[in-house]
Amino acid sequence: MDETQLTDDARQVTARYVSAMNSGDAETVLSFYTDDAVTIWEPGKQLRGQEHVDAVREFVASRPSMRAELRESYVAGDAALLVVDWAIDQPDGAGGTTHLTGTGLDVLRRGADGKWRYAVDNAYGDSV
């Protein structure tokens, strides 16, 4: 796990998360989340706790290729809201690729160490 990817600049979280995802290191990806994080990787389906951890590990193991662009960021004290356009190409196991895109709404929380982590990772925030 490479926690050196964590940052004290909320605007850098997206790029560093993408780098961790593309590296194939699930434990580093998981370090970007608070202990009580909620992920919504399918509209309407929340993942928490061990279910979230298992989903991240399984997804990263599939070796996706992710791209993302920070569209907007707002920081208020120890909370931040990011609006992110993203695309993922995920191997489908049959020699092809599934292409996924969306606009995420991400809520970050600044930890006691000054580093920003996802508290809410809503990949399909534009669908609500």
Report if residue 96 sits inside a domain. yes
Does a structural domain hold residue 107?
Answer: yes
Asked if the structure places residue 127 within a domain, the reply is no
- 5 lies in some domain: no
According to the model, what pLDDT value does residue 1 have?
A: 64
**Mean pLDDT, range 49-64, rounded to an integer:** 95
In this prediction, residue 4 carries a pLDDT of 77
Which domain range does residue 26 map to? Answer: 10-122
Instruction: Output the domain CATH number for residue 45.
Output: 3.10.450.50
3-state helix, strand, coil in the chain (%, to 5): 30, 45, 25
Q: What is the pLDDT of residue 2?
A: 64
- The number of distinct structural domains making up the chain is 1
Domain for residue 2, yes or no? Answer: no
Structure confidence by residue, pLDDT tens digits, 64-120: 999 999 999 999 999 999 999 999 999 887 888 999 999 999 999 999 999 999 999
Nearest partner of 24 among 77, 60, 71, 73, judged by Cα:
60
Query: What is the share, in percent, of the chain residues with pLDDT greater than 70?
Result: 96
- pTM given for the model: 0.91
Instruction: Give dist(CA 33, CA 12) in Å, integer.
Output: 15
